[in-house]
Homo-oligomer: A and B are copies of this chain.
Amino acid sequence: MNEGGAPTGRDALSAAGGEARYPDELRQLVERFLEELDFAAAPAARPLVEAMRYSLLAGGKRIRPVLSLAVAERLGQPPQRVLPFAAALELIHTYSLIHDDLPAIDNDSLRRGVPTCHVRFGEDIAILAGDGLFAEAFRLITDRQEGDARLVVAALSEVAGATGVQGMVGGQYMDVAATASRDDDLRLLHLLKTGRLIEASVAGAALLCGVTGPALEPFRRFAREIGLLFQIVDDILDVDGEADDLGKTAGKDAQLDKTTYVSRFGLDGARRLAGESHARARASLTELGGDVGSLTAVTDYILYRRS
């Protein structure tokens, strides 16, 4: 598979019985929840909230929160059950994009099709907008996420672990320091930088729905696989995607001389790895069983997306 013209090959479509439709009803739930957030800031701090909302509401597929809602669905719970937790993940994702785009880090000027936060509001406001989104993500969970308090703490632990030095920030450091020269390091970098937060989306939602201990493991295996898939496709899109589709600068990785799946394995090699990872993710969903329609759709979207 994956020898076609599309970034990751649509030949797999027919084999898999067609691409599942992205769960837009779950995405809309997230979108509405995010739009209603004003963080109850004092009037004097509202311009900061505007900067936070500018980046937060710039669109995107909301993959992380949609994954959380899809997990609730699989566990027979209404998606609203985990909505504050789910939305918090999008705040965190947005915070990480704002900080990554800063002049001192990736120095990117375009994101989700609009000027990056620091281009629009200045570097000082962008740093604070990121910091604010991070704090408000935790507040969303502590103040609005219902459920057994022990499970809320466990879900918060997933998020804190996924964003700290054993997660996002650690991966971002490896990226900045360009320490990932070996394949093992490349895999670790991506596991930390993107994989752990995707795993938190899935495992945190499962925890909030009462899944603990060994019963969490199949959810984690699925999440780790789509985290890997996500990054491989990201690297392919940076080479193969159009800036118009991406909504951000293409070719950025090569420009920054970053080690990526494409630079290590070539475009065809990366496409093959993506196809294999997608197949493993689908297999892990079969193993999970039950109503995995939305989880399957997100998995397919991660492979077939063009941005």
Q: How many monomers of this chain does the complex have?
A: 2
Q: State the CA gap A145–B149 with chains docked (Å).
A: 14
The smallest beta-carbon distance between A132 and chain B, in angstroms, is: 4
Nearest-CB residue, chain B, relative to A151: B149
The smallest beta-carbon distance between A189 and chain B, in angstroms, is: 8
Nearest-CB residue, chain B, relative to A48: B173
Interface string of A131-171 (1 = CB under 8 A from B): 11011101100110000111011101101110111111111
When A44-B179, A173-B48 are in contact, do A167 and B135 touch as well, CB less than 8 Å?
A: yes
Say whether chain A's binding surface is mostly helix, strand, loop, or mixed: helix
Whether the Cβ atoms of B156 and A138 lie closer than 8 Å is yes
List A158-195 residues whose CB lies under 8 Å from chain B. Answer: 159-161, 163-174, 176-177, 179-180, 185, 188-189, 192
Answer whether residue A256 sits at the interface, using C-beta atoms and an 8 A cutoff. no
Of the residues B125, B139, B166, contact of A164 by C-beta under 8 Å: B139
Answer whether residue A15 sits at the interface, using C-beta atoms and an 8 A cutoff. no
- 18 chain-A/chain-B pairs, Cβ below 8 angstroms: A39-B165, A42-B192, A44-B185, A44-B189, A45-B165, A48-B169, A104-B122, A104-B124, A105-B124, A128-B169, A128-B173, A131-B131, A131-B169, A132-B173, A134-B135, A135-B167, A142-B160, A148-B149
